[in-house]
């Protein structure tokens, strides 16, 4: 009897595992093809200043729509790209495309928005990273000060010493660096505050309960105070309503992004609207 149950369970497990592996394999093949055909595209989400709400920059967010599989989230395909050799091509392409698009939109609309681009852990390890970044900026004629590279807390903490060296070299080239998804890793605050960065992005999980839970407000208030004490600019992610915006403004948070201010969209959406204000 136990054997039947055991086998039943095993088969159930086996099917889902096989399905997952098949999806992975299929996704990796399709992603390779998508990179080859250059069909990944970039959506831009506005980053606004608080309390005024005026747009000061945009974050580039990769998008992939596969004809048969539909929209695949970067949460799924970026890790896949990291495990294969695809991340380097994707990373270079994203830097090139976004710097060119940004330089063009800045000129077209007469705005000086900053550009934030996400980097994955593997890109940080790449010895050519600095050259790639400098080359992209140079050919796009975008000043380094307009670019901010976002690296997640967990990616930075894999090897904090090496990360610190990398960040130093990027910053001496005039590029700014942000800790993304702050608060989601296991790093101690003192470890993180010692990293050579310019910006701290508070993860949306902390922003979600703002104004509803006194704990959440206390935690965010503490993060902002400590970040400011060491001279960092604080950006809140995932702001979805007025209440969260008001609490963040009251706590002195410098900048914010989220659906309340604008969803990720085409450059025309973001730059045209903001350029009009
Ligand atoms: P992230 O860098 O922390 O980006 C913020 C994510 O929050 C984005 O998800 C964005 O669409 C979403 N978001 C923005 N406002 C709101 C809001 O008000 N509410 C909620 N619930 N979500 C909001 P997205 O575009 O799915 O990207 C997910 C993650 O994928 C990014 O997190 C980033 O880590 C990664 N990613 C995206 N593009 C790239 C890229 O070009 N390179 C690398 N290495 N990673 C990327
Ligand atoms: Mg980011
Ligand atoms: Mg984030
Ligand atoms: Mg995130």
User: Cα dist. 249→53, 217, 246 in Å?
Assistant: 10, 12, 5
With contact defined as beta carbons under 8 Å apart, do 224 and 189 qualify? no
Q: Point out the ligand 1 atom lying closest to the alpha carbon of residue 201.
A: 3
Whole-complex ipTM = 0.98
| Closest ligand to residue 119's CA | 1
Per-residue pLDDT reduced to its tens digit, 5-32? 455 555 555 668 888 889 899 999 999 9
Q: Please report the pLDDT score of residue 12 as a whole number.
A: 56
Q: What is the pLDDT of residue 184?
A: 87
Q: Classify strands 41-49 and 255-256 as parallel, antiparallel or unpaired.
A: antiparallel
Confidence band, pLDDT 50/70/90 cuts, at residue 277: very low
How many residues appear in the chain?
A: 277
133 C-alpha to ligand 2 centroid (Å): 17
Judge contact between 206 and 220, C-beta under 8 A.
Answer: yes
pLDDT tens-place string over residues 162-198:
999 999 999 999 999 999 999 888 778 778 888 999 9
Per-residue pLDDT of 86-125, as tens digits, reads: 999 999 999 999 999 999 999 999 999 999 999 999 999 9
pLDDT grade for 274, boundaries at 50, 70 and 90: low
How much distance in Å is there from the Cα of 60 to the middle of ligand 1?
A: 9
Closest protein CA for atom 46 of ligand 1? 118
Q: Is the CB of 153 under 6 A from ligand 1?
A: no
Specify the pLDDT at position 88: 94
Which residue's CA is the closest to the ligand 1 atom numbered 42?
118
Q: Is 259 in the pocket of ligand 1 (CB under 6 A)?
A: yes
Ligand 1 near 238 CB (within 6 A): yes
Model confidence, pTM:
0.93
Tokens 């965010």 belong to which residue? 220
Alpha helix segments (H runs only) across 47-85: 74-83
pLDDT digits (tens, 9 = 90+) for 140-151: 999 999 999 999
d(C-alpha 168, C-alpha 133), whole Å: 14
Tens digit of each residue's pLDDT (9 = 90 or more) over 195-231 = 999 999 999 999 999 988 889 999 999 999 999 999 9
pLDDT above 70 covers a percentage of the chain that reads 93
Q: Report CA(66)–ligand 4 centroid distance (Å).
A: 22
Residue of 74, 182, 200, 238 to mutate, ligand 1, most atoms within 8 A of C-beta: 74
Position 13 scores a pLDDT of 56
Q: Which ligand is nearest to the CA of 61?
A: 1
């Amino acid at each position: 009897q136990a054997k039947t149950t055991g086998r039943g369970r095993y088969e159930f497990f086996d099917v889902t595992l096989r399905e997952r592996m098949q999806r992975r394999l299929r996704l990796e093949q399709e992603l390779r093809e998508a990179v080859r055909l250059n069909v990944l595209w970039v959506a831009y989400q506005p980053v606004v200043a608080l309390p005024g709400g005026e747009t000061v920059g945009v974050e580039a967010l990769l998008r992939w729509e596969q004809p048969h599989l539909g929209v695949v989230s970067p949460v799924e395909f970026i890790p896949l790209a990291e495990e294969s050799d695809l991340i380097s091509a994707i990373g270079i392409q994203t830097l090139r495309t976004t710097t060119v698009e940004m330089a063009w939109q800045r000129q077209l609309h007469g705005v000086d928005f900053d550009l934030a681009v996400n980097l994955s852990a593997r890109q940080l390890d790449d010895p050519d990273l600095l050259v790639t970044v400098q080359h992209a900026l140079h050919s796009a004629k975008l000043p380094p000060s307009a670019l901010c590279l976002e690296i997640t807390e967990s990616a930075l903490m894999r090897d904090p010493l090496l990360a610190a060296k990398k960040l130093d070299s990027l910053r001496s080239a005039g590029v700014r660096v942000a800790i993304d998804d702050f608060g989601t890793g296991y790093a101690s605050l003192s470890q993180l505050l010692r990293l050579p960065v310019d910006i701290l992005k508070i993860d949306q999980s902390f922003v979600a309960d703002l104004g509803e839970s006194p704990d959440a407000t206390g935690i965010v208030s503490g993060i902002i105070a400590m970040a400011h004490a060491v001279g960092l600019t604080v950006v809140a992610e995932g702001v979805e309503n007025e209440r969260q915006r008001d609490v963040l403004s009251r706590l002195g948070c410098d900048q914010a992004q989220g659906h309340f201010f604008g969803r990720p969209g085409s450059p025309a959406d973001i730059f045209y609207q903001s350029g009009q204000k």
